[in-house]
Amino acid sequence: MPATEPWICPTCAIHVTTPFCPMCGESPIRPPDLTLRGIGAKVLHAATSIDGRVLRTFWVLLRHPGELTVAHLNGKRMPYVPPFQLFLIANAFFFAMQSLTDTQIFGSTLVSHLYHQDWSPLARSLVAERVATLRTDLPQYTSTFDRAAVINAKSLIILMVVPFTLVLWVTFLRARKPFVTFVYFSLHLYTFLLLLFSLALAVAAIELHLGGLGLASPVVDNLLSIVNLGLCGGYVFLALKPVFGSRGITRLAKAAAMALAAGFIVPGYRFAIFLITLYTA
């Protein structure tokens, strides 16, 4: 149907002489739209446009640290996925990797909390009280706890961004940047970290497949933790210049401090998930 040929909008029931309805934006149905070829073309167009935007955003995130944050602050938003949505996509990918590798980083099992964490003595005391309060036994409660911990770790992972945002804000208080700057920076950093954790899971899974212990091995766990911390520091170092204009030794010191803060937040989040799950499961 030519664009100039009058048509009736099926949504507004008005006569229209333009390609799109001025009231609702509806367009007329054309014969190709009702064929399998037409449907396939629409699906392909939708998939490539969405995926293209996502891939472009991740490419800038990984290839040019800090530039994505600057782009959003300057109002250049259309070419890229919004920071929070990007974080959720990375979160979904990370937890898919955890499912594929059957490994949990944040939603640690109750056994791990009881015997393999720095807070294990406290955990044993709190769990004993909780089990007594619920009038259940430890094996039954362990099953309930482990299922809930995985769900909580996935749904509450945004909590890691909050303390880092505050630390970043205090560190760059004199920069007089809008607070959204620190929020965007933190979301982009933790999106990067979720991808980094996903890669670490893949490496651990390969090591396990080759006959090792995976993350159950202290050597593998510690080595991956050191590498992740170093890459986090390097990413922050590169991102600080375009976002905050940091230079020289100050930039290096702040990058190291931010990497350490992110490193401490990880076990802090794991402990928070333990407490939340303990008193809600």
Mean pLDDT of 70-99: 92
**High-pLDDT (> 90) share of the chain, %:** 60
What integer pLDDT is reported at residue 58 of this predicted model? 95
Contacts of 138 (CB under 8 A, 6+ apart): 127, 131
Q: Which residue has the higher pLDDT, 44 or 53?
A: 53
* Tokens standing for residue 203: 């490496």
**High-pLDDT (> 70) share of the chain, %:** 91
204 with 103: CB under 8 angstroms? yes
Q: Using CA atoms, how far apart are residues 17 and 156, in angstroms rounded to an integer?
A: 50
Q: How many C-alpha atoms does 129 have within 13 Å on its Cβ side?
A: 8
The H or E element that residue 15 is part of is strand 15-16
What integer pLDDT is reported at residue 108 of this predicted model? 82
Helix, strand, coil percentages in the chain from 3-state DSSP, rounded to 5: 75, 0, 25
Q: How far is CA 133 from the centre of its chain?
A: 35
What integer pLDDT is reported at residue 212 of this predicted model? 77
What integer pLDDT is reported at residue 2 of this predicted model? 46
pLDDT at 41 over 70: no
Mean pLDDT of 141-169: 93
Query: Which of 60-74, 101-115, 193-207 shows the lowest mean pLDDT across its residues?
Result: 101-115
pLDDT band of 25, cuts 50, 70, 90: confident
Q: Using CA atoms, how far apart are residues 133 and 187, in angstroms rounded to an integer?
A: 39
Q: Which residue has the higher pLDDT, 51 or 229?
A: 229
Q: Using CA atoms, how far apart are residues 227 and 71, in angstroms rounded to an integer?
A: 29
What integer pLDDT is reported at residue 22 of this predicted model? 82
pLDDT at 43 over 90: no
Mean pLDDT of 175-204: 94
What integer pLDDT is reported at residue 1 of this predicted model? 41
